[in-house]
């Protein structure tokens, strides 16, 4: 082949390669618009020691029966009349100095929702799969499982705190509890084993927490019994040991309580 022809062929090959390279280089690059990226918001932090605010258990007259929150329940009959009669009996015996025995004087757990009333401070521990509530009173422990499926009714034995499952709905923690045993009576309010307690936890300030509670049991309640509790976070408080051992209370045969001496 003539020298000029060979040079011409080589030049054509270089041009062809360069052209292919330019086509590849010019191909558009896909990009993801930043406006469509999902922004994951952190869950509100409810960890800490919480005490009721305002504190409702201060200098109240100890001869007056504490009223239930939210004005009390609207019960169906005959439960409404029975509950009213029991409250009147409690008040009369309390004023006489021999109060009627209750779960507290028997050192029994408060159950749900009573543990959240925080007569003494409570501590909330927030982990990825579980929220744990520790109460100073009687050193109680309540476990709330995140996004947990409720067991079937036959696999859900009644208990003091029931089975609690929680989900985050935005910045609100929604907790539903089932399986609370019938002996657990918040302010003596009767209920069936089908009762559902729903709590909605929401921070309403940097150090303030609100829980909206709803107790739903059509067999006993005309409508859901609702009320609200508010708390403030106490960074300095350490929950001490609180063992209930009947050192001061004497439970009499007639179901009343009197004060005895320490053993």
Alpha-carbon distances of 74 from 33, 71, 179, 195, 220, rounded to whole Å: 55, 9, 22, 15, 9
Asked if 133 contacts 115 with a C-beta cutoff of 8 angstroms, the reply is yes
**pLDDT of 84-111, one tens digit each?**
999 999 999 999 998 999 998 889 999 9
pLDDT of residue 15: 39
Rounded-to-integer distance, Cα 101 and Cα 98, Å: 9
Q: Which of residues 190 and 3 earns the better pLDDT score?
A: 190
Rounded-to-integer distance, Cα 152 and Cα 163, Å: 11
Nearest to 196 by CA among 156, 169, 147: 156
Nearest to 143 by CA among 135, 131, 152: 131
Asked if 114 contacts 184 with a C-beta cutoff of 8 angstroms, the reply is yes
Cis peptide before 54 (omega within 30 of 0): yes
Rounded-to-integer distance, Cα 126 and Cα 43, Å: 10
What is the CB neighbour count within 10 angstroms for residue 224?
16
Nearest to 61 by CA among 94, 109, 104, 101: 94
**DSSP character string of 165-176:** EEEEETTEEEEE
Residue 175 has pLDDT above 50, yes or no: yes
Residue 24 has pLDDT above 60, yes or no: no
Nearest to 48 by CA among 166, 214, 244, 205: 205
pLDDT of residue 7: 45
Q: Where are the alpha helices (H) located in 96-210, listed in sequence order?
A: none
pLDDT of residue 257: 77
Q: Which domains does the chain have, with CATH numbers?
A: 48-259 (2.40.128.20)
Q: Which of residues 223 and 17 earns the better pLDDT score?
A: 223
Mean per-residue pLDDT, 143-155:
95
Residue 12 has pLDDT above 60, yes or no: no
What is the CB neighbour count within 10 angstroms for residue 109?
21
pLDDT of residue 16: 44
Nearest to 44 by CA among 198, 222, 204: 204
pLDDT of residue 92: 96
**pLDDT of 199-211, one tens digit each?**
999 999 989 999 9
pLDDT of residue 6: 44
Residue 196 has pLDDT above 50, yes or no: yes
Rounded-to-integer distance, Cα 198 and Cα 172, Å: 12
């Amino acid at each position: 082949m003539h020298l000029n022809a060979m040079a011409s062929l080589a030049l054509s090959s270089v041009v062809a390669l360069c052209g292919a390279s330019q086509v590849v280089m010019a191909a558009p690059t896909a990009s993801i618009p930043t406006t469509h990226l999902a922004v994951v918001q952190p869950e509100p932090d409810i960890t800490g020691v919480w005490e009721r605010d305002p504190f409702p258990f201060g200098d109240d007259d100890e001869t007056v029966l504490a009223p239930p929150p939210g004005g009390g329940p609207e019960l169906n009959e005959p439960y409404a009349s029975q509950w009213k009669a029991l409250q009147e009996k409690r008040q009369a015996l309390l004023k006489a100095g021999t109060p009627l025995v209750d779960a507290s004087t028997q050192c029994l757990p408060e159950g749900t929702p009573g543990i959240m009333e925080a007569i003494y401070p409570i501590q909330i521990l927030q982990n990825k799969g579980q929220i744990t509530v520790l109460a100073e009173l009687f050193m109680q422990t309540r476990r709330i499982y995140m996004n947990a499926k409720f067991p079937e009714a036959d696999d859900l034995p009644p208990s003091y705190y029931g089975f609690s499952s929680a989900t985050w709905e935005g910045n609100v923690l929604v907790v539903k509890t089932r399986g609370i045993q019938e002996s657990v009576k918040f302010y003596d309010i009767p209920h069936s084993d089908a009762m559902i307690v729903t709590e909605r936890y929401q921070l309403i300030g940097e150090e303030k927490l609100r829980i909206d509670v709803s107790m739903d049991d059509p067999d006993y309640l005309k409508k859901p019994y609702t009320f609200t509790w508010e708390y403030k976070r106490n960074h300095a408080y350490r929950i001490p040991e609180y063992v209930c051992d009947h050192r001061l209370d004497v439970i009499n045969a007639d179901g009343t309580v009197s004060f005895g001496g320490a053993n």
